Structure 1
Amino acid sequence: MTARTTDEALHHLLDDGRARAALIDPEHARLWDALCLATEGGKRFRPALVVATHDALGGNRPAAAAEVGAAIELLHTAFVIHDDVIDGDHVRRGRLNVSGTFREQATGAGAGDAAAEEYGAAAAILAGDLALAAAVRAVATCGAPVPVVRRLLDLLDGALHTTAAGELADVRLSLGLAPASLAESLTMAEQKTSAYSFSLPLQAGAVLAGADDGTTHRLEEAGRAMGIAFQLADDLIGVFGDPARSGKSTTGDLRTGKQTPLMAHARSTPEWERIQTFLGRDLAEAELAEVRRLLATSGSRRFVEELVEQHLVASRRVLDELGIAIDVLTAQAGRSAVPADGREAAA
């Protein structure tokens, strides 16, 4: 297999899918085009983690590492597309996402609002399914020895199960049937993000490098802590960030009543009585400013920022003990406390 960068490997996967789609139907080709567009704008830190871990552990399979890294990035795209359907969002990274694009096309063709909404959701579900299938296929054909591929597929399968559990828990907790404890909301954050965004790429890089089981297990620990830090940071950006810079709504989590650790802590403060009046509905700018102020004065924002730092320290400790220096970890999860200038990173 010819060595590629992870970006080149990803482009190859997308070009292959686009070519297959074009042979089937023009509308299907447009669906694949929207999927390709959904991969743009991310920081590509997941494939970078695969390659960096593989290299740090002395691996000699750079081509396979690039292919697996591209597969995990495509897996991320699948989760992002499906997550937007779950949350009812039509914008991602400052532009129309897959559901928003197809909803707009249907509206332009004369469909009613409800029908256009259903069409957009259907397109996004199908696009996410295509991305997921392509990711699994890419891992299976990455060119590594069969025992290594089997181990990689086991890791991928485990990450899929864990992430699905986290997504469902997120929606279940948002039903508001009972207040989520801090422990429950942290577990949900871990499942949603840690497994596939951090533990999977770290472990995949280690497996490709031929690392022992002990090292691979410790990297799962590091990834778990890093993923929690990342998700907590994302929760902060989802309320305090600048959508023009992050591409992430600052009212979506409040509107859908996400029971994040930020909200779990706020519920224990005297400010909660006022904070809860801003949840479950669209907010005007002045209302958003007020709920932000309340979350800050209650100490909830600071509490989450401190949790981020604690988990960063825990992950760095494991990596230091293994003698692995991966700067991309700190660069991504360290985006936590939303900078004053609003320079949030998009995932």
Structure 2
Amino acid sequence: MSAPPRETVDTAPVDAALAGFFADGTRHLVGAEHTQLWAALRDASAGGKRLRPMLFHSVYLALGGRQTDVAARVGASLELLHTALVVHDDVIDGDTVRRGRPNVVGTFAADARERGHDAERATHYGQSAAILAGDLALAGAVRGIALCGAPPDTVERMLDLLDRALHLSAAGELTDVRLSLDGEADIPAVISMEHQKTAVYSFELPLQLAAVLGGADAEHESALTRFARLLGIGYQLRDDLDGMFGEESATGKSTVSDLREGKCTPLIAFARTTPAWAHIHPYLVSGVIDDADAARVRTLLEECGARAYVEGLAADLDREAREAVAHLPEARLLDEWARTVSRGARAA
């Protein structure tokens, strides 16, 4: 993803809060496996662009917020939430690599193979470790907000928002798996899933937390939430486009994995309504797709208009997002964020 707006580039307070979280956690370590698990979780949280904490913190400051220590702890909680969800997502998707290096699954599976275990047992060990690591990160995210130092009524409101985000993200993840399993969904159903799975925790939650901690009124918070929903769905649409048409070296994402998994993206949902579907569908149900097959599907998706449709939809959502907050004092900052997100969907 492109660099965030200039006002948001300082991640040092969040990094310090995360370092404190991992340092504090060492007091609970009880053995070699536990120590390795904690280290793997720490590694999983490193190297990202801190999109969610920076989005939260930049808007919090624009709203007049000045509790920098509190904001740093909330920002760290957002990053821990993101880490937890992507670690669990890797288990769901069967991935062993993230950000160009072995993820938690890959790290522990490799360790098991080095100790002589077969691939199936090694994978089970790796996935078990990832589930547990994600659970620890989720607990850390909740604890971070609960102990952030804000007034009790503010903390309660923020925990309610976190709870909502967790519920909707879980619903979106499971719906994503079901849609791929059933192989049938229309565009509104896929868009709803992508809203729940990505937009809620990555965009709505950071801006809602900024609004609550920054003392914004209900109307202001509502406008920020609408902006975040539209921007987040557009973000995910571009992620889908990158996953199909992007360069792997730039996106860090395989351009055949979505096809192999039978992912029901808006590209696929649109193609299902066109004559090209008769030619695309056999590739999806085969479960075995090579680079040549993927190239053929990409050509069909372009010829049937699926790519142009999704690109246009993402652009429309970006425009609507800007319009939703054009009347707010922080509209310029939000416009910068919208342009940043639209320039590149991939954010670790």
TM bucket (normalised to shorter chain) is over 0.9
Where do 1:74-89 residues align within 5 Å? 74-89=80-95
Contact 1:169 1:188 in 2 (8 A): yes
Which of 303, 311, 320 lines up with 2:326 in the alignment?
A: 320
Which of 291, 297, 308 lines up with 1:302 in the alignment?
A: 308
Aligned to 1:346: 347
C-alpha distance in 2 between matches for 1:4 and 1:272:
49
Instruction: Give how far 1:248 is off.
Output: 1.5
C-alpha distance in 1 between matches for 2:339 and 2:22:
29
Which of 19, 22, 27 lines up with 1:20 in the alignment?
A: 27
Answering whether residue 278 of structure 2 is matched by residue 270 of structure 1, we say: no
The AA in structure 1 aligned to 2:70 is: A
Which deviates more, 180-189 or 235-244? Answer: 235-244
The AA in structure 1 aligned to 2:124 is: E
Answering whether residue 124 of structure 2 is matched by residue 115 of structure 1, we say: no
Answering whether residue 201 of structure 2 is matched by residue 196 of structure 1, we say: yes
Which of 257, 261, 282 lines up with 2:262 in the alignment?
A: 257
Aligned to 1:161: 167
Contact 1:41 1:346 in 2 (8 A): no
C-alpha distance in 2 between matches for 1:57 and 1:141:
22
Which of 238, 244, 248 lines up with 1:243 in the alignment?
A: 248
Contact 2:227 2:324 in 1 (8 A): yes
Instruction: Give how far 1:286 is off.
Output: 1.6
Aligned length: 334
C-alpha distance in 1 between matches for 2:250 and 2:49:
13
C-alpha distance in 2 between matches for 1:14 and 1:250:
34
Answering whether residue 214 of structure 2 is matched by residue 209 of structure 1, we say: yes
SS at match of 1:322: coil
Where do 1:214-225 residues align within 5 Å? 214-225=219-230
1:309-330 Cα shifts (integer Å, max 9, x gaps): 1111111112222222232343
Cα 1:195–1:274, aligned 2, differ >3 Å: closer, same or farther? same
Aligned to 2:8: none
Which deviates more, 208-217 or 325-334? Answer: 325-334
Instruction: Give how far 1:4 is off.
Output: 6.3
Aligned to 1:330: 339
Instruction: Give how far 1:244 is off.
Output: 2.4
Q: What is the TM-score when the length of structure 2 is the normalising length?
A: 0.92
Instruction: Give how far 1:49 is off.
Output: 1.0
Q: What is the TM-score when the length of structure 1 is the normalising length?
A: 0.92
Contact 2:256 2:290 in 1 (8 A): no
C-alpha distance in 1 between matches for 2:221 and 2:276:
44
Aligned to 2:64: 58
Which deviates more, 181-190 or 249-258? Answer: 249-258
Instruction: Give how far 1:8 is off.
Output: 1.9
Cα 1:31–1:333, aligned 2, differ >3 Å: closer, same or farther? farther
How well do the aligned residues superpose, as a CA RMSD in angstroms?
A: 1.6
The AA in structure 2 aligned to 1:13 is: F
Where do 1:120-135 residues align within 5 Å? 120-135=126-141
Aligned to 1:182: 187
Q: Structure 2: state its 5+ residue gaps.
A: 1-10
Which of 229, 234, 246 lines up with 2:234 in the alignment?
A: 229
C-alpha distance in 1 between matches for 2:243 and 2:23:
33
C-alpha distance in 2 between matches for 1:220 and 1:186:
17
Answering whether residue 294 of structure 2 is matched by residue 288 of structure 1, we say: yes
C-alpha distance in 2 between matches for 1:37 and 1:6:
15
C-alpha distance in 1 between matches for 2:17 and 2:317:
32
Answering whether residue 99 of structure 2 is matched by residue 90 of structure 1, we say: no
